[in-house]
Amino acid sequence: MRKALGKGIDALISRVQENDIALQNIKQISVSDIVPNRLQPRQDFDEESIKELAASIKKHGLAQPIIVQEIGYGKYEIIAGERRYRACKYLEMSKIDAIVKKNIEDEKKLAIALIENIQRENLNPVEQAMAYKKLMDEYKMNQSEIAEFCGKSKYAVSNSIRILELEEDILNALRNTSTTKFTEGHARALLGVPDKEERKRIFDRIISEKLSVRDIEDISKSYHTPTQRKAKNSSKKSPEIQEMEKELERTLGTKVEIMCGADPRVGKIVIHYYSLEDFDRISGKLRR
What positions carry a catalytic annotation?
82
Do 87 and 53 contact (CB within 8 A), yes or no?
yes
Amino acid at 250: R
Among 34, 43, 16, 39, residue whose Cα is nearest residue 86: 34
Alpha helices in the chain (DSSP H): 9, 15-22, 47-60, 82-90, 106-120, 125-137, 143-150, 154-162, 168-175, 177-180, 184-190, 196-209, 213-221, 226-233, 239-252, 276-287
Cα separation values, 132 from 38, 110, 123, 129, 273, Å:
16, 10, 12, 5, 21
Phi, psi of 249 (to 5 degrees): -65, -40
Cα separation values, 28 from 16, 67, 74, 99, Å:
17, 11, 13, 9
The Cα–Cα gap between 140 and 137 comes to 6
